[in-house]
Structure 1
Amino acid sequence: MVLNLLSIKGWHLLKKVFQAILVPTPPEHNPQNALCVRLAAMPNMEFFEYLPESRPTQPDIPHYSRMDYGNRVGFWRMLNVLNKHQVRACCCLNLEILDHFPEIKDAMVAANWDYMAHGLYNSRPIYTYTEEQERAYWQDFITHVQEMTGKRLKGRLGGGAGYTVRTDDLMAEAGCLYHTSWIIDDQPWPINVRGGQKFIYVPYTGQTNDAGMLAWNREADYFLQMIKDQFDTLYREGAENGRVMCLSLHPHNIGRPNAAKHLDEALRYILSHDGVWNTTADDIAEYYIANYYDQVSSWIAERKAQQ
C-alpha cells in the first residue's frame, strides 16, 4: 500500500517542522573509542490536580492519588536507584512540583538533575493558549526553573501538557534547544523553526517507558527484559552510528515495591558495557548541536537537491 502523505491533515505543518522527513538517517561515523549509546534517564515528575480546571466540581481521585503515591513514596525509591548508579537525570517537570514538594525539589537539586518542561500541572494542557499566552508561559517557566534550581531550561516533553503548532518556534525564540515529543528516531534530528535557530529533537521513548507496565498489563520483569533487548540492539548498531537510549520513568510506576529492583538491574546491565555515555537530554542536545547539527543539515540539503 502506498500512503499519500500529502492527503494527511496537517502534513504541510510537518513539512515545515522537520528538515527532511522521508530520507534515511545520515551516517554519523563513530571515531575509534567513541560512545555507542547515550543513556538518558528522563523521570516524569508530575502533579495531577485533585480538582482539575476542566472539571472543578469532580475530584479526579484515581489520577491524583496515583501520582501522589509517586511524589510521596515512589520518587525516593527511584532516586535511590539512580543515585546508586550515579545516573544524573533530566526531569520532565510539571513546574508546580517545585512549589508543592520542596523536599523533592531539594533532592533533585542535590543530585544535580537537569530539567525539561512538561507543563505547569499534568492536568493543564497548553493547546488552547494564544501565541502571546504561550510566549509568556515559556518565559515564566524558564525564569521559575532558574530561580528554584539554578538550572537553565533547555527542552521539553509534551505529553499531558500538550503543545501547539507554535511551540517549537516559541521555545527556540526563548533560547531553548530541543524537545522530545516526536518519537521518530533513535538519534537526534534537526527541526526547522521560523527564527532559524538551531533546534533539535532528542529521542524519547514509548517502549522503554514504565507507563507501558500499566497500559499493557505487563509485569515489572517484562519491562526489564524490554530494556535489555532494546539496549542490546542499540549497542550493536551504535558501534557504527551512535544511538540514544532513553529510559522514561514515572515514580508512581517504577517506584512501586515490585518495580524498583528491576530499574536497579537494568542500570547495572547497561552501565556494565564499555562505550556508554551516562548523560542527560540537555547534554545530548548541546553535544549534537556543537558537533553534528551543521554536518547533518548539509547532508539533508544535499539529499533534497537530489530529489
Structure 2
Amino acid sequence: MDNQLFDYSPIVERAPIHWPDGARVAFYVGLNVEHYAVDRPSTSIFPDTRALAPDPLNYGWRDYGPRVGIWRLIESLDRHQVRASVMLNSDVAERYPQIIRAGRERNWVWAAHGKNNSILQADMSPRRSVPTSPR
C-alpha cells in the first residue's frame, strides 16, 4: 500500500528552514511518563520472568521512573532550562499527582499516551459512552 497521508517531498526540493533568532539547531525533549500495572505482564528487559504476575525483576526498572528517574530528569531539565513535551499515560495523573504538579509548574506540553503501558490500545474494544442521568 502506498502512503496516502502526504505526498513525497525530497529534502533537496524543500525551502530551507529558518529557526527563531538565527538558531542553527532546534530540538525538543519528548519525555514518556508512564504507569505500569504491577500485576500484568508488560515490557520486559529480562524475558525469563515476564509471564509472572507480579514480575519483580521487570517491574523494578519500570517503577524506577516515577519514583526516582523523573525527579533526576526534572533536575537536569531545570538546570539547562529545557521545557519538556510529555507523552503521558492517563493513569499517571491519578497515581502520581506530584509528577503532574511538577510538570504544571514548569509549563510542560502534554500529549495523550494511552491509559497505561500495561494495556495496549490495539487490544481494546471501543467503549460506549455512559448515559447521563435524566434532568
Paired with 2:85 and 2:128, the residues of 1 have a C-alpha distance of 23
Decide which of 119, 125, 131 is 1:124's aligned counterpart.
119
Paired with 2:41 and 2:73, the residues of 1 have a C-alpha distance of 30
* 2:91–2:116 CA contact under 8 A, matched in 1: yes
Paired with 1:56 and 1:105, the residues of 2 have a C-alpha distance of 31
Match of 1:20 in 2: 7
Match of 1:106 in 2: 101
Paired with 1:47 and 1:31, the residues of 2 have a C-alpha distance of 38
Paired with 1:135 and 1:92, the residues of 2 have a C-alpha distance of 25
Match of 1:48 in 2: 36
Decide which of 53, 72, 93 is 2:67's aligned counterpart.
72
* 1:48–1:63 CA contact under 8 A, matched in 2: no
TM-score using structure 1 length: 0.35
Match of 1:276 in 2: none
Paired with 1:74 and 1:52, the residues of 2 have a C-alpha distance of 22
Match of 1:61 in 2: 56
Paired with 2:91 and 2:38, the residues of 1 have a C-alpha distance of 14
Q: How many positions carry a matched residue from both structures?
A: 120
Paired with 1:62 and 1:98, the residues of 2 have a C-alpha distance of 25
Q: What is the CA RMSD across the aligned residues, in angstroms?
A: 2.8
* 1:47–1:64 CA contact under 8 A, matched in 2: no
Aligned residue type for 1:45: V
* 2:41–2:54 CA contact under 8 A, matched in 1: no
Paired with 2:75 and 2:111, the residues of 1 have a C-alpha distance of 21
* 2:83–2:107 CA contact under 8 A, matched in 1: yes
Residue 134 to residue 27, structure 1, CA distance change in 2 (3 Å): farther
Q: Where do 5+ consecutive residues of structure 2 fail to align? A: 43-49, 130-135
Q: Cα deviation per residue 1:259-283 (whole Å; 9 max; x = unaligned)?
A: xxxxxxxxxxxxxxxxxxxxxxxxx
For residue 70 of structure 2, give the secondary structure of its aligned residue in structure 1. helix
* 1:90–1:116 CA contact under 8 A, matched in 2: yes
- Aligned ranges 1:257-272 → 2 under 5 Å: none
Paired with 1:85 and 1:57, the residues of 2 have a C-alpha distance of 40
For residue 119 of structure 2, give the secondary structure of its aligned residue in structure 1. coil
- Percent of aligned positions that are identical: 30
Decide which of 20, 29, 38 is 2:16's aligned counterpart.
29
TM-score using structure 2 length: 0.74
Q: Which has the higher helix share?
A: 1
Match of 2:87 in 1: 92
Q: Where do 5+ consecutive residues of structure 1 fail to align? A: 1-10, 137-307
For residue 38 of structure 1, give the secondary structure of its aligned residue in structure 2. coil
